[in-house]
Chains A and B, each alone.
Chain A
Amino acid sequence: REFTYRHDEL
């Protein structure tokens, strides 16, 4: 699974 938003938020 890919969690892109996760890398986006600090």
Chain B
Amino acid sequence: MNIFRGIADFSHLAAIIILLHKIWKSRSCAGISGKSQILFAIVFTTRYLDLLTSFISLYNTSMKVIYISCSYATVYLIYMKFRATYDGNHDSFRVEFLVVPVGGLAVLINHDFALLEILWTFSIYLESVAILPQLFMISKTGEAETITTHYLFCLGLYRALYLFNWIWRFYFEGFFDMIAIVAGLVQTVLYCDFFYLYVTKVLKGKKLSLPA
């Protein structure tokens, strides 16, 4: 594993833990899109079905299990335990507009027309756009808690670092996967606007708020 991959995985883990911790500590999921979290739970579930078919390493298995469990725990906290604090009115992104086209694309453009392969492709495509309900919610309310922005930054950083990981793997291992690369690029681009706000506002100690 190269350095980019390593930092990326821990950045991803940090994002997941930051979010869980924030909800647990504040006993509230205000400002968090439950829809994005459901999409991430679907992403992990459909991608890590390989837990049942192939063993890579203890690290690999543990991370996959942690990602899946944390994402389900987050969904549970939002929709069950702290449901009263869930801001459903502002979480109004129509997820069917993401899931249906992404599902169609996964069936049409994949490496192999097999169930597990299509589900893997679906999870890659879905992950690239799964954050949209959350970004939509922030644009709707015009602001985000600072801790939420740290979560988003770690999540965006993770995908940006995977791009470097793929460049590395292409040069040193001759490996590349066009589906993952294109989806990863799309995903990273979606965070660019947010990265800009994070650097110019949050890192200077200001709250992230958008002009009305």
Chain A residues packing against B (C-beta within 8 Å): 1, 3-10
Contact = CB atoms under 8 A, between A and B. Distances in A.
A5 B64 CA distance: 15
Interface residues of B, number: 21
B35 to A, nearest CB: 22
B26 interface: no
B60 A6 contact: no
A6 to B, nearest CB: 6
A8 B177 contact: no
B89 interface: no
Given A10-B12, A10-B64, A1 B112 contact: yes
Contacts, number: 29
B87 interface: no
Contact of A1 (B56, B111, B120, B169): B111
Contacts of A3: 111, 117
Interface string B163-187: 0010001000001010010000000
B143 to A, nearest CB: 31
Contacts of A4: 54, 56
